[in-house]
Every structure is written in structure tokens, then in C-alpha cells.
Amino acid sequence: MSKTDPGNYFEDFKLGQELKHATPRTVTSGDVTLYGALYGSRFAVQSSDAFARAIGYDHAPIDDLLVFHIVFGKTVPDISLNAVANLGYADCRFLRAVFPGDTLATTSVVIGLRENSNGKTGVVYVRSCGTNQHGQAVLEYTRWVMVRKRDPSSPAPSPHLPDLADRVAPDVLGRALPELDPSAYDTALAGSAHLWGAYEPGERIDHVDGMTIEEAEHQLATRLYQNTAKVHFDLNQQKDSRFGRRLIYGGHVISLARALSFNGLQNAFHVAAINGGRHVAPCFAGDTVYAWSQVLEKCELPDRSDVGALRIRTIATKDHLCADFPTKGDDGKDHPSTILDLDYWVVMPR
């Protein structure tokens, strides 16, 4: 048996199988710094202990997407080392705030399997759960990936497709938030007077700013998350790939788009859930990323008068300013500049 991890192939996955992923990782203020320097996020709650304490936290919480990337990174060696494509996410819920000093670990359960008709690959559905050092769930999400078979002649499993909700129901949002004191929420310090009430379904926001990505930046980020997917790091082998260069981790683009979205969603400091998302096109070093958002839904949360939820669709583009809100054309095709189409819930003070 090889001591080098070959990753799992499609036939290695069994329905109901539980995977306990390496490596547990303590999140610290150092991670907060580097994450901030990589994306330039400016949400006041995550930036300032003083601001967070004033409204009801014990301490500034870790950025939700940093938690996501760390929890996700651990699954790569077991789930997607032999993946052909990362197909989708669903029902991603942020369940509990994470603070510096907390240690994150991840487990996954195989919840669906379907071999492709070509007999060479199959789709694996997993439900992954990130936990803290007390064993409490901080994050859960469903992900499906197309994985190579080690041996094309191995038999196909009985196909099983999990039910995938279109969106996370709003009544489960807000669990990761303490009861906030809205009177202590200083909108000048937060960067905008536009609270939850100021947003309306259908509204579109051009986030205006752009960020050009460097190779060193996405490599630092992806290693920060202990994500081991080779395509992000190995130029020597990528030279001979379809793209001829290193591919940027899709989560890096999500975090960039989220940081850009501050300019227009300044008080949307908490990502409560991700309903789904598509990495529409690959992103490479040298690309400049822009983003715009549309408010899809606006919901109150049960028993919470302090905060409300907005369902947001954020589209990120490369080398294309978003003043024209680029989206799918009449032919149903994405605008050619699109790299990300993300559907998620944010929570904002009311």
C-alpha cells in the first residue's frame, strides 16, 4: 500500500460511507490578517473586536468564507484529488460563529453516486460538515464532483441521487449570529447607512471596484486553506494541460467577489448560507475580477427583530466592468466575461 495518498477513485466511494478528513487546523488572528490582505474585505464586524463586542459578540468572528475554505480544503485529498470537475454546491449553512483559537475539522458522508454512461467517470455527492474543537457543527454543505474511475471495468454502483433544495429555507438562517443590539451598530463605522430595510428584491448593484490576481496571491490563499489540488500550484505540469497554466481555486474568486461586494452591501457582514454556485469559466493570474449583485429575495427571520436576510446573486466577471450588469443572453448563454454565478443568503441589521 502506497504511503503517498493516491486519493479516492469513483469505485472507492460507497453510499453512506463516512470520511474523517485530515488535517485539523486552529484558526488564529494570523489567518484573519492574511485573509484580509489577500482580499481587502472591510466588513466592520470581522475587522474590529471593539465593533463586534459592542453589538453582542465576545470577539470579532472569523470571516464566513475563510471558514468555508478551511473546511473545504480538508476534503480535497479524499474527495476531489481525482476529480475531473467540481460540479456544484447546495444547501451550505453557516451554523455557528468561529473565533480565533477554534480548531476546525471536517467529516463527509457520501450521499449520492451515479456512474457516467462513458464508464470512465462518475458523480459523487457528499455532505460535508465542519466542526470546532467541541465537536459542534460550524458549517454543513453538499457538494458534487465528477471523479475518475481507477479501473473502467469495475462495476457501476446502483445510482442514487440525493434531493437537492434550490435554496436554503430562510427560517434556518441566522443561527451563527448572537442576538444583536441594533442601537450599538454604528453605520458610519460600518461604511453605509443602508440597512436591511433599504434593499428591495430585483435591485441591482454594480460593485464598481476591480482586483487583478497574481500567481503568488492565489497560491498563498490556496495553501492557507491547506487545499492540495495540484492544478493550482504546478506550472510544470499545467504547461501541458488544456489551459497551459495554473488554474485559480474557484473559492479564491468567491472570496474576491465577496470582498468587492462590500461596496454596495456594506452591512451584509454575515453569509448565512450558500444556495448554489457555478464557476462559469476558469480564472487565471493576470485577470482582473469585477462583480455585481442582484437582490433575489428579502426575508424576515423568525423571532429576530435585530436582523433580516437578503438572498443575493453575485456575478463575477473578468476584465469586464459590471456597469452593464452582464448576465445570460437571450440564447441562455452566460456573458462571455462571466466567471462566477453565486446564489447565497446574507444577514444584515434591520
Find, among 220, 242, 243, the residue nearest to 233 by Cα. 220
> Minimal distance in Å, beta carbon 195 to its own copies?
11
Rounded to whole angstroms, how far apart are CA atoms 229 and 80? 8
In a 13 Å sphere around the CA of 212, the CA atoms on its Cβ side amount to: 3
Considering only residues 251 through 280, tell me which ones interact with its own copies, judged by CB under 8 A: 263-266
Q: Is 29 in the site for its own copies (CB under 8 A)?
A: yes
Q: Choose which of 88, 157, 178, 191 interacts with its own copies (CB under 8 A).
A: 191
- Least CB distance to its own copies at residue 281 (A): 16
Nearer to its own copies, 36 or 178 (CB): 36
Which of 47, 75, 121, 275 touches its own copies by CB under 8 A? Answer: 47
Please tell me the distance from the alpha carbon of residue 342 to that of residue 68, in angstroms, as a whole number: 14
Please report how close the Cβ of residue 82 comes to its own copies at its closest, in angstroms.
13
Residues 67 to 106: which contact its own copies by CB under 8 A?
77, 100-101, 103, 105
Q: Does 51 bind its own copies (CB under 8 A)?
A: yes
Note whether 24 binds its own copies by CB under 8 A: yes
Query: Measured from the CB atom, is 167 or 245 closer to its own copies?
Result: 245
Q: Quick check: 210 binds its own copies (CB under 8 A)? A: yes
Count of beta carbons in the 10 Å neighbourhood of residue 247: 20
The verdict on 211 binding its own copies (CB under 8 A) reads yes
Identified binder of its own copies from the candidate list 38, 145, 177, 273, rule CB under 8 A: 38
279-308 binders of its own copies (CB under 8 A): 286, 288
Min CB(211)–its own copies separation in Å: 5
Give residue 85's identity as a one-letter amino acid code. A
Site residues for its own copies, window 308-337 (CB under 8 A)?
A: 319, 321
Residue 183 lies near its own copies (rule: CB under 8 A): no
On the CB side of 214, how many CA atoms lie within 13 Å of its CA?
Answer: 6
133 binds its own copies (CB under 8 A): yes
- Pick between residue 246 and residue 313 the one whose CB is nearest to its own copies: 246
Q: Which is nearer to its own copies, 31 or 115 (CB)?
A: 31
Smaller CB separation from its own copies, 115 or 217:
217
188 belongs to the binding site for its own copies (CB under 8 A):
yes
Contact positions with its own copies (CB under 8 A) in 138-177: none
Among 14, 33, 184, 201, binds its own copies (CB under 8 A): 33
Is residue 184 near its own copies by the rule CB under 8 A?
no
- 339, 253 in Cβ contact below 8 A? yes
Min dist CB 330 to its own copies, Å, is 27
The CB-of-318 to its own copies minimum distance in angstroms stands at 8
Interface segment toward its own copies; rule CB under 8 A; list 8-16, 142-150, 169-177, 187-195: 187-195
Considering only 58, 198, 302, 305, the residue that binds its own copies (CB under 8 A) is 198
**In the 3-class helix/strand/coil scheme, how is the chain assigned residue by residue?**
CCCCCCCCCHHHCCCCCEEECCCCEECCHHHHHHHHHHHCCCCHHHHCHHHHHHHCCCCCCCCHHHHHHHHHHCCHHHHHCCEEEEEEEEEEEECCCCCCCCEEEEEEEEEEEEECCCCCEEEEEEEEEEECCCCCEEEEEEEEEEEECCCCCCCCCCCECCCCCCCCCHHHCCCCCCCCCHHHCCHHHHCCCCCHHHCCCCCEEECCCCEECCHHHHHHHHHHCCCCCHHHCCHHHHCCCCCCCCCCCHHHHHHHHHHHCCCCCCCCCEEEEEEEEEECCCCCCCCEEEEEEEEEEEEEECCEEEEEEEEEEEEEEECCCCCCCCCCCCCCCCCCCEEEEEEEEEEEEC
